[in-house]
Amino acid sequence: MSNAFLSIENLTQRFPAGKGESLTVFENASFGIEKGEFVCILGHSGCGKSTIMNILAGLAEPTSGAVLMDGKEVSGPSLDRGVVFQNYSLLPWLSALKNVTFGVAARYPEWSRSKVVEHSTQYLAMVGLEGDTIHRKPAQLSGGMRQRVSIARAFANHPKLLLLDEPFGALDALTRGTIQDELLKIWSGTSQTVFMITHDIDEAILLADRILLMTNGPYARVAESVEITIPRPRKRDQIIDHPNYYAIRNHLVHFLATRSKELAGQQTGSDSNTPQTVRIDLVEETKGDESDDPRHGAHLRAVNE
Partner 1 sequence: MDRLSTNQRAAILSFIILIAGLLIWEAAIPGQKAATELTEYERLTGGGAPKAGVPPPSQVMQKAWEQLSNPFYDAGPNDKGIGIQIAYSLYRVLTGYFLAALVAIPIGFLIGMSPVAYKALNPFIQVLRPISPLAWMPLALFIIQDSNASAIFVIFICSIWPMLINTAFGVAGVRSDWVNVARTHELGALKTALTVILPAAAPTIVTGMRISIGIAWLVIVAAEMLVGGTGIGYYVWNEWNNLDLTSVIFSILMIGVVGMALDAAFGRLQRAVAYAE
Residues that bind partner 1 (CB under 8 A): 57-59, 76-79, 81-83, 85, 87, 89, 91-93, 102-103, 106-107, 137, 139-140
For the chain, first and last CA: distance in Å? Answer: 11
Q: How far is the CB of 54 from partner 1 (least distance, A)?
A: 9
Q: How far is the CB of 157 from partner 1 (least distance, A)?
A: 8
With respect to partner 1, which residue has the nearer C-beta, 165 or 224?
Answer: 165
Of residues 221, 194, 175, the one with CA closest to residue 51: 221
CA 255, 257, 259, 261 torsion: positive or negative?
positive
With respect to partner 1, which residue has the nearer C-beta, 13 or 101?
Answer: 101
Q: How far is the CB of 96 from partner 1 (least distance, A)?
A: 13
With respect to partner 1, which residue has the nearer C-beta, 77 or 189?
Answer: 77
Integer CA distances (angstroms), 137 to 14, 90, 95, 111, 238, in order: 39, 9, 4, 24, 37
Within 8 A by CB and 6+ apart from 222, the residues are 29, 30, 31, 41, 212, 213, 214, 273, 275
Q: How far is the CB of 77 from partner 1 (least distance, A)?
A: 4
**Residues 140/149, Cβ–Cβ less than 8 Å:** no
Q: How far is the CB of 155 from partner 1 (least distance, A)?
A: 14
With respect to partner 1, which residue has the nearer C-beta, 107 or 199?
Answer: 107
With respect to partner 1, which residue has the nearer C-beta, 137 or 234?
Answer: 137
Within 8 A by CB and 6+ apart from 18, the residues are none
Residue 262 to residue 254: CA distance in whole angstroms: 11
Pairing of strands 72-73, 64-69: antiparallel
Q: How far is the CB of 13 from partner 1 (least distance, A)?
A: 18
With respect to partner 1, which residue has the nearer C-beta, 197 or 205?
Answer: 197
Q: How far is the CB of 58 from partner 1 (least distance, A)?
A: 8
Of residues 214, 174, 287, the one with CA closest to residue 31: 214
With respect to partner 1, which residue has the nearer C-beta, 141 or 207?
Answer: 141
